[in-house]
Amino acid sequence: MRTREECSEHDEGDPLAMLRHEFILPEGQIYLDGNSLGPVTTSAQRRVRQVVDHEWGDGLVRSWNTAGWMDAPLTIGNRLAPLIGAGDGEVLVADTLTFLLAKIIGGALEIRRTRHVIITDEVNFHSDLYIVAGMAKMAGRDIVVKTIDRNRLSEHLDDDVALVMLTHVDFRTGEMLDMSGITAAVHAVGALMLWDFAHSTGAVPLDVTSADVDFAAGCGYKYLNGGPGAPAFVYVAPRWQGVLRNPLPGWLGHARPFAFESTYESATGMRAYLTSSPSVIALGALDGALDVFERTTMTMIREKSLALTDLFIDLVEQALPDVFEVVTPREHDRRGSQVALRHDQGYGVVQALAERGVVGDFRAPDICRFGFAPLYLRYVDVYDAVQILVDVMMSYAHLDERHAVRRAVT
Ligand SMILES: *Cc1c(COP(=O)(O)O)cnc(C)c1O
């Protein structure tokens, strides 16, 4: 694929092409930021309206029973489970990602109560680093958080390690880690493994069961398109359910929330990891957003994702040799669904692109990040985006002084 015509032919033969119509996409935009906030689908829109107008509007408080609100964190978890290779009763949708990480970290430290070390990646997402440090402080005993170079993980694994927490697809570079291999190495020293799937879920095929993962958690608002601030999800392997305690207990995780008992007794199964009332409207949006995933497979999504990212990398290298450093690995088994281009004026590049309708994002200090969501992106979109990038670089639009001032969200 080198010409726009060839890209267009690929779109005609694309088995996912029809799914683009499920999304509400603003005219004249090429949206390469679905890894940060996925777009709205008509199903999500419909489901939210149904929740607001009928379940809440007509049903009022009765809907807690009649509309399945109390079970929504579990039923939506069951819908999401196949995307990560989990089964029924193994995934819960609740809170947001950082809170779910906190629950797992706190619980895991109790399970491995004689061990003192948590290992994480020095370039992990900052929220992951903050929460792991915060939970270590609250453990009630001395816990050392080692933030390491993940390529040297094996040097740090020993029998004092309680938990290893890694993000499966690096949020900056798009590098994907070897989930099975790392999980096995962590288990070999008796430690527990927590995977952050923020940039993996809905983007790459995942199989927590075959990889023997202990715990995983991810966002609802990135590739899953669940809406801004959407609830997150957590996976707890069946062997740890009933063993892993929720360190943030609340009434919704109680065995009998409406008995109003003054002492806590954990619910069984994944319900144990609930704390407070489910955010019903937000759950509706995520529920609706999952419809589109049931019309395809992660294998098909992955095939197109690799084709899109290959195309983007090839076109950029061909048109702009030596302008950008392609930070994302070329090997398919080490790549998520995004491409990161390094450039000293990366912020200006991303701003100038946005002015021309190509929406990516910038991750400090120097990464232009482009997410490729196969459900709604076309090959011609990739082609056009690169032409616009060429135009920006050739006209030095990225150096315009308007782009010198950074906004709050980059
Ligand atoms: C997006 C992202 C988060 C966001 O967490 P929230 O608590 O849902 O805001 C956390 N970790 C990683 C790795 C992310 O990419």
Domain boundary among 233, 265, 294: 294
- Number of Cβ atoms within 10 Å of the Cβ of 27: 5
Q: Is residue 304 annotated as a catalytic residue, yes or no?
A: no
> Tell me, what's the pLDDT at 409?
81
Q: State the pLDDT confidence band at 356, using cuts at 50, 70 and 90.
A: very high
Q: Is residue 125 annotated as a catalytic residue, yes or no?
A: yes
Q: Is residue 196 annotated as a catalytic residue, yes or no?
A: yes
Q: Is the residue at 27 inside a domain?
A: no
Residues 255 and 303 grouped into a single domain: no
- The distance in angstroms from the start CA to the end CA of the chain is 31
Phi and psi at residue 157, to the nearest 5°? -80, 120
Residues 78 and 195 grouped into a single domain: yes
> Tell me, what's the pLDDT at 174?
97
Quote the mean pLDDT of the chain. 97
**DSSP conformation letters of 82-145:** GGGT--TTSEEEES-HHHHHHHHHHHHHHHTTT--EEEEETTS-HHHHHHHHHHHHTTSS--EE
Choose between 406 and 3: higher pLDDT: 3
Residues 375 and 288 grouped into a single domain: no
Q: Which of 47, 79, 103, 222 is catalytic?
A: 222
Q: Could you tell me the residue range of the domain that residue 344 belongs to? A: 4-16+297-404
Q: Is the residue at 410 inside a domain?
A: no
Q: Is the residue at 124 inside a domain?
A: yes
Domain boundary among 294, 309, 337: 294
pLDDT digits (tens, 9 = 90+) for 377-395: 999 999 999 999 999 999 9
Residues 200 and 256 grouped into a single domain: yes
Q: Where are the alpha helices (DSSP H) in 270-378?
A: 280-289, 298-319, 346-355
Least confident range of 79-83, 120-124, 130-134, 398-402:
398-402
315: left (phi over 0), alpha (psi -120 to 50) or beta: alpha
Q: Is the residue at 36 inside a domain?
A: no
Residues 375 and 242 grouped into a single domain: no
> Tell me, what's the pLDDT at 408?
80
Give the CATH number of the domain where residue 200 resides. 3.40.640.10
Residues 282 and 306 grouped into a single domain: no
Residues 334 and 277 grouped into a single domain: no
Q: Is residue 221 annotated as a catalytic residue, yes or no?
A: yes
Domain boundary among 270, 294, 318: 294
Residues 332 and 280 grouped into a single domain: no
> Tell me, what's the pLDDT at 410?
79
Q: Is residue 369 annotated as a catalytic residue, yes or no?
A: yes
Choose between 1 and 47: higher pLDDT: 47
pLDDT digits (tens, 9 = 90+) for 134-190: 999 999 999 999 999 999 999 999 999 999 999 999 999 999 999 999 999 999 999
> Tell me, what's the pLDDT at 403?
87
> Tell me, what's the pLDDT at 326?
97
Residues 206 and 325 grouped into a single domain: no
Residues 237 and 371 grouped into a single domain: no
Q: Which of 128, 369, 379, 383 is catalytic?
A: 369
Q: What residues are in contact with ligand 1 under a 6 Å CB criterion? A: 96-98, 125, 127-128, 167, 171, 196, 198-199, 219, 232
Residues 143 and 195 grouped into a single domain: yes
Contact predicate 288/313, CB 8 Å: no
> Tell me, what's the pLDDT at 407?
80
Distance between CA atoms of residues 99 and 85, nearest Å: 22
Give the CATH number of the domain where residue 340 resides. 3.90.1150.10
Residues 217 and 273 grouped into a single domain: yes
Give how many domains the chain has, as a whole number: 2
pLDDT digits (tens, 9 = 90+) for 272-300: 999 999 999 999 999 999 999 999 999 99
> Tell me, what's the pLDDT at 400?
92
Q: Which atom belonging to ligand 1 lies closest to the Cα atom of 124?
A: 13
Ligand 1 centroid to Cα of residue 227, in Å, is: 14
Q: Is the residue at 28 inside a domain?
A: no
Ligand 1 centroid to Cα of residue 98, in Å, is: 6
Ligand 1 centroid to Cα of residue 150, in Å, is: 19
